[in-house]
Chain A
Amino acid sequence: MTRRTPSFTRRQAANLPDTPPQALQIRQLSVVYDRSAQAIRGVSLEVAPGQMVALLGANGAGKTSVLRAIAGFLAAERAEVTEGAICLGTRDLRGKSPSWIARNGVAFVPERRKIFDTLSVRENLEVGLSRQQAKRPHAHEELVYQYFPALEALSSRRAGFLSGGERQMLAIGRALMCQPQLLMIDELSLGLAPSVVTSLMRTLRRIREEQGASILFVEQNAGAALEVADHVYVLENGRVAMAGDPNQLMDVSEFRDVYLGMADEGTRSYAALIKSSRAGSREVG
């Protein structure tokens, strides 16, 4: 049985505004917590429409802060963007509330506490649907089940009882319900078995191709990220240290040693493995 992949055309049919995908642009971004701790300084990056961009770096390098700055800070947090610009296409995101940003094209999956444990799977997916969209939430739920069929069987289960992989699927699914132009995911692979991570990454690639959404994701597992990313930024101490095409980046020895973290010989073969994996998956599509 074949099912037509839901995509932009059905969205148009649902009488939603036809917004073409936009590029995310960040220029010279600085974020300060509690008016004292500088998290990132002068960070510039860009995500072109339909691109999958990886943000790498060690703990504390500022990767999560970048994502949270884009997704917006709650008024109650003591964090602020002190300089720089964040634009999704022509829309300025800086200073807007997280809920506004979510309703205007950016969906964020945080690293921890990424789903509502006390709600059911279906309720998780439906959170935040404005009354407009709520008229046909099922249209979007089907979209999510397309990518994560396992969730459909679990739709009335309390989300707190899901396994790690299922939680991550639900979290991404919830983000998809916002119909994002930009999907941001923080530490997708944390706590998940490698096979699950691979499967999720491949699903993300499908989402990217079929929905046209751009994906900006933070990863500590550099290897997994490099297999799927179109472009990579590396953060160190709150600044962009390296950026570029993954293939090129893997030839840079500093990058290999620090982020792929293996002895020279092992790294070289690991790098080769990644490269061939990328080439292979590109062919299969």
Chain B
Amino acid sequence: MKQAAVDRPTISAWRGHRRLVRATQRTRYRGAIVVGALAVGYAFVGSNSNLFLGTTIFIAAVGAIALNALTGNLGIVSLGQAAFLATGAFTATYLGGTLHWPFLLVLLASGVAAGLVGGIVGVPSLRWRGLYIILGTFALHYIVVYGATKYEINRVGPGGFNLPPAKIFSWTITSQRDWYLFSLVLVALTVACVAKVLRGRTGRAWTAVRDRDLAASITGIDVSRAKVVGFIATSFVVGVAGATSAYFVGNVTTETFTLNLAIQYVAMIIIGGLGSVPGAVVGAAFVVYLPHMITKVVGLLPSSYPLAGWVNTNIFDLEAGLYGVFIILFLLLEPGGLVALAQRVRRYFVSWPFRDRGVIA
């Protein structure tokens, strides 16, 4: 029997609610600090290949957090992730590689460049409904990649651009540990900033825009401005991620920036959980780690096992297909992503054995 709607809450119920919220926030901060400390500690313990993996995850997470804010909170579905990453990366090659600007400045400027592209696409996007925005970013992807390819071929050839090492004042980021720590700081900064913005008035406005354009505008939210600003801001962050990745890998070619890359980022936010900042990080970790996990699992199979051979030959296609399978599975079964799944598991255990008792989540 479903419960009927809640009657008007009393003042004491409201106070209790505030207490609960504050308590949840304390737990949240505590949790974040613990995780952060663990992550920092790992920098001194992990192997180089694992640290490399960690850095990749952190940089990807920055992009995923931005996309998650755009799609999960503002409600704009974008396939332009690869285009913005490419903009950031190629701007970095020009500013850092050709003009030799300092590293941090290049990161910022690349973000600005990506934000500009976002603004150009964003302004006309005011009029577009959800589906048209998807198509628009889809077209944007091909156009940007085309432009980048022409630029690359004219300047450097198919080998792509190489970048100088990244230097912050006197510290050159060279070792895996250096990169790991830098990207950890970067992602922590992103998490903190984005989470704060989303918790405040902007975040609520974005949610209103996402849920009901017209209703939001009636309540006084400038829908057009919110959408454009959101698009520009998230593109900026993605551009920074692209530039960071360019320095990290050391080499930039247009081949990296495929539509599949954009789809991978969408997979990250769906698998992690739409609208959840930690979800974006978890999703990024999942998607980045997936190929490694598959290789490990396959490696466990005895080589005589008939399936093992087949899996090995088709490993790339299987990996690619698995992203699609996970997107489908999560959309059908757990649209809230891993984050929601975790909460559901926790709720189950918290209320066991009193399964019927509702838990104040």
A interface vs B, CB < 8 Å?
30, 32, 35-38, 41, 80, 82-83
Q: Which chain B residue has the least Cβ–Cβ distance from A36?
A: B5
Most A CB atoms within 10 A — which of B1, B4, B5, B6? B5
- New contact pairs (4) apart from A32-B4, A37-B5, A38-B5, CB-CB < 8 Å: A30-B4, A32-B2, A32-B5, A82-B4
CA of A80 to CA of B2, assembled, Å: 10
Query: Which chain B residues lie closer than 8 Å to A35 at the CB level?
Result: 2, 5
- 16 example contacts (A-B, Cβ-Cβ < 8 A) are as follows A30-B4, A32-B2, A32-B4, A32-B5, A35-B2, A35-B5, A36-B5, A36-B6, A37-B5, A38-B4, A38-B5, A41-B4, A80-B2, A82-B2, A82-B4, A83-B1
The smallest C-beta distance from B171 to any residue of chain A, in angstroms, reads: 54
The smallest C-beta distance from A2 to any residue of chain B, in angstroms, reads: 53
Query: Which chain A residues lie closer than 8 Å to B5 at the CB level?
Result: 32, 35-38
Query: Which chain A residues lie closer than 8 Å to B4 at the CB level?
Result: 30, 32, 38, 41, 82
Interface of A is mostly: strand
Q: Which residues in chain B, 259-309, are within 8 Å of chain A measured between CB atoms?
A: none
Chain B 1-34, CB within 8 Å of chain A: the 1/0 string?
1101110000000000000000000000000000
The smallest C-beta distance from A30 to any residue of chain B, in angstroms, reads: 7
CA of A35 to CA of B5, assembled, Å: 7
CA of A30 to CA of B1, assembled, Å: 13
Query: Which chain B residues lie closer than 8 Å to A80 at the CB level?
Result: 2
Q: Which chain B residue has the least Cβ–Cβ distance from A82?
A: B2
For the complex of A and B, the 6 pairs showing the least CB-CB separation, nearest first, are A38-B5, A36-B5, A82-B2, A32-B5, A38-B4, A82-B4
CA of A30 to CA of B4, assembled, Å: 9
Query: Which chain B residues lie closer than 8 Å to A32 at the CB level?
Result: 2, 4-5
Q: Which residues in chain B, 17-75, are within 8 Å of chain A measured between CB atoms?
A: none
CA of A168 to CA of B217, assembled, Å: 32
The smallest C-beta distance from B7 to any residue of chain A, in angstroms, reads: 10
The smallest C-beta distance from B2 to any residue of chain A, in angstroms, reads: 6
Q: Which residues in chain B, 130-168, are within 8 Å of chain A measured between CB atoms?
A: none
Q: Which chain B residue has the least Cβ–Cβ distance from A37?
A: B5
The smallest C-beta distance from A156 to any residue of chain B, in angstroms, reads: 33
CA of A199 to CA of B15, assembled, Å: 59
The smallest C-beta distance from A165 to any residue of chain B, in angstroms, reads: 30
CA of A199 to CA of B5, assembled, Å: 42
Query: Which chain A residues lie closer than 8 Å to B2 at the CB level?
Result: 32, 35, 80, 82
CA of A32 to CA of B2, assembled, Å: 10
Q: Which chain A residue has the least Cβ–Cβ distance from B2?
A: A82
Q: Which chain A residue has the least Cβ–Cβ distance from B3?
A: A82
CA of A59 to CA of B149, assembled, Å: 61
CA of A24 to CA of B4, assembled, Å: 25
Query: Which chain A residues lie closer than 8 Å to B6 at the CB level?
Result: 36
CA of A13 to CA of B1, assembled, Å: 46
Query: Which chain B residues lie closer than 8 Å to A30 at the CB level?
Result: 4
CA of A110 to CA of B5, assembled, Å: 26
CA of A35 to CA of B2, assembled, Å: 9
The smallest C-beta distance from A1 to any residue of chain B, in angstroms, reads: 53
The smallest C-beta distance from B135 to any residue of chain A, in angstroms, reads: 23
Query: Which chain B residues lie closer than 8 Å to A41 at the CB level?
Result: 4
CA of A37 to CA of B5, assembled, Å: 6
The smallest C-beta distance from A160 to any residue of chain B, in angstroms, reads: 22
CA of A131 to CA of B191, assembled, Å: 59
CA of A80 to CA of B6, assembled, Å: 16
Query: Which chain B residues lie closer than 8 Å to A37 at the CB level?
Result: 5
Query: Which chain B residues lie closer than 8 Å to A38 at the CB level?
Result: 4-5
Query: Which chain B residues lie closer than 8 Å to A83 at the CB level?
Result: 1
CA of A38 to CA of B6, assembled, Å: 9
CA of A41 to CA of B7, assembled, Å: 13
CA of A32 to CA of B5, assembled, Å: 8
CA of A219 to CA of B265, assembled, Å: 53
The smallest C-beta distance from A75 to any residue of chain B, in angstroms, reads: 15
CA of A36 to CA of B1, assembled, Å: 15
CA of A161 to CA of B5, assembled, Å: 43
Q: Which chain A residue has the least Cβ–Cβ distance from B6?
A: A36
The smallest C-beta distance from A40 to any residue of chain B, in angstroms, reads: 11
Q: Which chain B residue has the least Cβ–Cβ distance from A38?
A: B5
CA of A38 to CA of B3, assembled, Å: 11
Q: Which chain A residue has the least Cβ–Cβ distance from B5?
A: A38
Q: Which chain B residue has the least Cβ–Cβ distance from A80?
A: B2
The smallest C-beta distance from A60 to any residue of chain B, in angstroms, reads: 15
Q: Which chain B residue has the least Cβ–Cβ distance from A30?
A: B4
CA of A283 to CA of B1, assembled, Å: 51
CA of A80 to CA of B1, assembled, Å: 13
Chain B 179-211, CB within 8 Å of chain A: the 1/0 string?
000000000000000000000000000000000
CA of A36 to CA of B2, assembled, Å: 11
CA of A36 to CA of B6, assembled, Å: 7
CA of A83 to CA of B5, assembled, Å: 12
Query: Which chain B residues lie closer than 8 Å to A82 at the CB level?
Result: 2, 4
The smallest C-beta distance from A69 to any residue of chain B, in angstroms, reads: 15
CA of A41 to CA of B4, assembled, Å: 9
The smallest C-beta distance from B186 to any residue of chain A, in angstroms, reads: 39
CA of A80 to CA of B4, assembled, Å: 11
The smallest C-beta distance from A39 to any residue of chain B, in angstroms, reads: 10
Query: Which chain A residues lie closer than 8 Å to B1 at the CB level?
Result: 83
